[in-house]
Structure 1
Amino acid sequence: MSFLHRIMRKEDVSQYQNKDAHLERTLRVKDFLALGVGTIVSTAIFTLPGVVAADHTGPSVSLSFLVAAIVAAMVAFVYAEMATVMPFAGSAYTWISILFGEFFGWIVGWALIAEYLIAVSFVASGFSANLRGLLDPFHVTLPNALSNSLGTNGGIMDLIAAVVVVITALLLSCGTSETARVQNILVVLKVLAIALFIIVGLSVVDISHYVPFIPEYHETAAGAFGGWQGIYAGSSVIFVAYIGFDSIAANSGEAINPQKTMPRGILGSLLIAVTLFIVVALVLVGMFDYSAYKDNAEPVGWALRMSGHGTVAVIVQAISVIGMFTALIGMMLAGSRLLYSFGRDGILPSWLGKLNNKNLPNRALIVLSIVAVIIGSVFPFGFLAQLISAGALVAFMFVTIGIYALRKREGKDLPLPAFKLPLYPVMPIIIFVCVFAVFWGLSGQAKVYTLIWFIIGIVYYLFYIFKTRKQ
């Protein structure tokens, strides 16, 4: 087989059906709604509104959330159609392998690896910051060396972040249906905590903090601030908040009746999340001047404490910290299924694609956990957010273009979908341009690191091809 033919060879759909046959289909719409809301409405809602307001937008941070949400919603429509036609583990990696071939599938999968490995570290870091903020009034602290990433404020590793990753991995190793029950309960608690913050926060909102709503544009060390340039820069950072719908698609191999379950889970969870994000952002910047949230990793708890609602702050942060498990569950569940898919297809060591006696990919879960702990110990919180967005955005661009190849095969070797992207064939072009614009708004450092990551992935793939051709 020639090199060109090998990398362009499209994967056979029946192979994925057979390979994923041992995954148990136990997840329903309510489970995917909980998974999506739990993953999307996670660390980001308690951290990014304050960070982005201080660095880029001022009071207009809600507009950055809205812009990012519109782009995410358009991508979610594409994902909903893809997931109904090809409900296999691995989400975009598997879809692009079927539609465009092994090489392009690997590029997308390599982007998603970055997304999930870094996302787990990001959520764990946010969990750690909020837990430390919760315990600080009780004078319970850890030394800087065990509270921060390497080189940040004297840090060596974030011990709390490492421990919570290990605990979540142990929970996931027990089984998907068992994890889903815990997830559903925690998501309800988290939404109630957000509602409590909104109600109490509204009572101390000062309208003057919204003026001017869009500050005058100027450049800062963090990048563009104010004007529509700042809103645009903020939306690129915030986009990380909405990528959780990919975690739903990654688990479509375990969905009951995926034709109905997947679109309802993906679109429903995104709608709930968008509403909560925008309201929280508006309340937060109304409570204090946006500059007060500079470099604050737990602005929600801080705002409640500074406004005299210490007891409410403890309640909200306690529930939010517990609720951050839901995001870790979603990201680690999806990430382990992605690594399993690579092992299943032989592009990474085959032992990653082995299931245990409960038909769970726990080997992939262990590897994901170890790497996530290492990444979280080395990179600071803010930088992780942009790298997650970069990996997700690259995958989204490929999936959006993939809809053209998908439509040609629906009703032939692929089934007809229960849900279709509207306004085809114009809408995919619009979505691609919007996603690329969000990607271009990332910092130069994030784009450079993304380029380095893809060079490493391509080199590995070429090594993999050379190795398999010799066998």
Structure 2
Amino acid sequence: MDHTRADAGDLAEYGYEQELKRTLSAWAVFALGFATISPVVGIYAVVQLGFVFAGPAWTWAVVVAFLGQLLVATVYAELSSQFPITGGVYQWVRRLGGPRLGWLVGWIHLASAVASLTTVAYLGASWLHMLVSDSALSPATHVLLGVVFLVVALGINLLGVDPVKHFLNAGIIAEGVASIAVSVVLLLFARNHGFDILFNTLGAESASGGSVAAGFVTCLAVAGWAFLGFDATTQVAEETDQPRRSVPRALLRSYLFVAFTVLLTALAVTFALRRPEDAVSGKIVDPVFEAVTQSLGGWSEKPFILVVLIAFFACAISIQTYIGRAVYAFARDRQLPFSAQLATVGERQIPWVSLTVTAVLAGLGLVLGLNGNAAATLIAFGSGGFYFIFLAVALVALFARLSGSWNPAAGELRLGRAGLLVNALAVAWLLFEAVNIAWPRAELAPPGGSWIQIWAVVLVFSVLLAVGLAYVVIAKPHTQLPTHSNTQEVKAS
């Protein structure tokens, strides 16, 4: 049977035409998921903060975050198996929880996704500067290099799906070298500590008022950043061959492979640092770079930076790929201002207007970096939005299960009775982690930061929610849905 024709027919049952180019294999979808979660971007961004708040014991926060997010990824895999439509969380919540709630969740998701692109560009800018200069990085230069990241990512995406696939494959190779290969070398030939160091904070609790528990919880809030992005696979469902089968499998496989790589890197860096107490005190600004160059020698500096940069660029490209599709799905249903323009698909069968607009919005977010080091604020901001979206989706899925409006057994991925338990545990985990990330902490704001930066997550998302609610009341986007898109509103029931 012609899978492409069958997939297009499946999409037509939801009221949509096949506009995007369906050329992504199961491997390509895996590559997108892997590059978006990105062990390099995830762990390299949080390791320094982890040491500051919990010392070498920070690795246990990574383990907890991995287990909690595995529950969430499993729920997402079930949903993606039943709704093979570009749009991901917006489409699921709209069909299971109603169009108004679907719009609000989609709105916050878009804002969070743009924030994550800003964060990756900001963090990657530091490595780009390290490649070309040994001087101190000023805030203005940092922001400018972040813009370079966004321009390159946009340029690659505008070339079409095939070039994106090639860059993502290069990213996977770079991830393998920077994370797996380097970590194995460090574990085999550069271990300076035994397993017992993982139970030592080295006084890191002083950053949290002397409380080890408070330090670990703060570390857990930061560690959540390392396990974002697995939902990227769901945004390319309409470009994937046999999406009901390929998308959920790619989602879980990419998540598990990234998790393995993140945990391997966390252990390798922690065991290899000669003086981990310097990472706790902040004397070592980048523990990963320090561990690698101390162990392999000075010759490794530039090659290592280059490999890490490739991984960062692949991550930025993949994030922009899935954000563009998310905006396209929203606009296709006439849910945004200028929807006709945002839903435009060009000659290369890509939503080029949505891609360009999201790149510009992510660039505006870089302005936060003009006021000193904004890494912790951006990580908390990006993570906060996603964890609230995770929570909303998990809650909607749980209520739909219990009310009988959603029958997960009708999908390709079947967990049976275990699915309900997994869903309930995912909700419990997300209730804790969402509040934990949003909790205002002065220690995560830039030194001397204002109260606005300390309350950034709560304030920004409160404003976004208020704007979203006002838009729902005034513009009534749920009434603008094309009649055909309401087909099979709850297809799986």
Instruction: Give your verdict on TM over 0.5.
Output: yes
Q: Which moved more, 1:317-326 or 1:363-372?
A: 317-326
Kindly report which structure 2 residues correspond to 1:7-86, keeping only aligned pairs within 5 A, or say none: 17-19=14-16, 21-41=18-38, 42-54=40-52, 56-86=53-83
- CA shift at 1:402, angstroms? 2.7
**Residues 317-328 of structure 1 mapped to structure 2, 5 A cutoff:** 317-328=305-316
Q: 2:317 aligns with which of 329, 334, 358?
A: 329
Q: Does 1:316 align with 2:304?
A: yes
The answer to whether the 8 Å contact 1:401/1:432 transfers is yes
Instruction: Give secondary structure in 2 for the equivalent of 1:18.
Output: coil
Determine the C-alpha separation between the residues in 1 that align with 2:37 and 2:16: 29
Question: Tell me, which stretches of 5 or more residues in structure 1 are unaligned?
Answer: 1-12, 149-157
Deviations 1:431-461 (A, max 9, x none): 1011111112123222343223222222233
2-structure distance, mates of 1:450, 1:250: 23
Structure-2 residue corresponding to 1:92: 89
Q: Distance in 1 between matches of 2:120 and 2:148?
A: 13
Q: Secondary structure at the match of 2:300?
A: helix
Q: 2:474 aligns with which of 459, 463, 467?
A: 463
Counterpart in the other structure of 1:382:
376
Cα RMSD (Å): 2.8
Match of 1:259 in 2: 244
| Whole-Å separation in 1 of the counterparts to 2:159 and 2:96 | 34
Q: Report the Cα offset of residue 419 of structure 1.
A: 0.4
Matched, 1:238 2:223: yes
What is the alpha-carbon distance in structure 2 between the residues aligned to residue 232 and residue 467 of structure 1? 39
**Deviation string, structure 1 residues 204-254 (Cα, Å, up to 9, x no partner):** 332179547243888656x57763443332222121221111111122221
Aligned to 1:438: 433
Question: Which whole-Å CA distance do the structure 2 matches of 1:254 and 1:225 have between them?
Answer: 51
Aligned equivalents of 1:310, 1:463: Cα separation in 2: 61
Give per-residue Cα distances to partners, 1:41-97, cap 9 Å, x unaligned.
24222221222221x221012111111111111111111111111111110011101
Is the 1:57–1:215 Cα contact (8 Å) retained in structure 2? yes
Task: Report the Cα distance in structure 1 between the residues aligned to 2:12 and 2:466, rounded to whole angstroms.
Answer: 29
Deviates more, 1:196-205 or 1:309-318: 196-205
Task: Tell me which residue corresponds to 1:4.
Answer: none
Asked if the contact 1:57–1:226 (Cα under 8 Å) also holds between the matched residues in 2, the reply is no
The answer to whether the 8 Å contact 1:343/1:353 transfers is: yes
Instruction: After superposing the two structures, state which structure 1 stretch, 255-264 or 451-460, moved more.
Output: 451-460
Structure 1 pair 410–144 and aligned structure 2 pair: CA distance change class (3 A): closer
Map of 1:304 onto structure 2: 292
Q: Which runs of 5+ in 2 are unaligned?
A: 1-9, 441-454, 481-493
* Structure 1 segment 60-459 matched on structure 2, within 5 A: 60-136=57-133, 139=134, 141=135, 144-148=138-142, 158-202=143-187, 203-207=189-193, 211=197, 213-215=199-201, 223=208, 227-286=212-271, 287-293=273-279, 294=282, 298-307=286-295, 309-348=297-336, 349-350=338-339, 351-379=341-369, 380-404=374-398, 407=401, 408-409=404-405, 416-421=410-415, 423-442=418-437, 443-444=439-440, 445=455, 446-459=457-470
SS at match of 2:15: helix
C-alpha displacement at 1:333, in angstroms? Answer: 0.8
Q: 1:324 to 1:131 in 2, by over 3 A?
A: same
Give the Cα–Cα distance (whole angstroms) in 2 for the partners of residues 466 and 315 of structure 1: 50
Report the alpha carbon displacement of residue 113 of structure 1 after superposing the two structures with TM: 1.3
1:273, distance to aligned residue in structure 2 (A): 0.9
Inter-CA distance 32–225: structure 2 relative to 1 (3 Å threshold): farther
Contact kept, 8 Å, 2:56 with 2:199, in 1: the verdict is yes
Q: Which letter maps to 2:291?
A: A
Equivalent-residue separation in structure 2 for 1:77 and 1:105 (angstroms) = 20
- What is the CA distance between 1:406 and its match in structure 2? 5.2
Alignment CA distance shift 1:142-1:217 (3 Å): closer
| More displaced stretch, 183-192 vs 18-27 | 18-27
SS at match of 2:241: coil
CA contact (8 A) 1:232 1:441 kept: yes
Q: CA separation of 1:393/1:135 partners in 2, compared to 1, >3 Å: closer, same or farther?
A: same
Cα pair 2:400 2:406 within 8 Å, conserved: yes
- Please say if residues 168 and 314 of structure 2, whose CA atoms lie closer than 8 Å, have aligned partners that are also in contact: yes
Structure 2 counterpart of 1:182, which letter? Answer: F
Match of 1:6 in 2: none
8 Å contact kept, 1:410–1:417 = no
Match of 1:3 in 2: none
8 Å Cα contact 2:54-2:204 kept in structure 1 = no
Letter in 1 for 2:193: I
Counterpart residue number, 2:448: none
Contact 2:384 / 2:434 at 8 angstroms: preserved in 1? yes
Give the drift of 1:142. Answer: 7.8
Asked if structure 2 preserves the Cα contact closer than 8 Å seen for 1:84 and 1:260, the reply is yes
Matched letter for residue 376 of structure 1 = L
What is the match of residue 3 of structure 2? Answer: none
Give the aligned partner of residue 10 of structure 1: none
Distance in 2 (alpha carbons) for counterparts of 1:331 and 1:225: 38
Deviations 1:131-167 (A, max 9, x none): 222333xx4x58625323xxxxxxxxx1111011111
Shift in CA distance, 266/210, structure 1 to aligned 2, threshold 3 Å: same
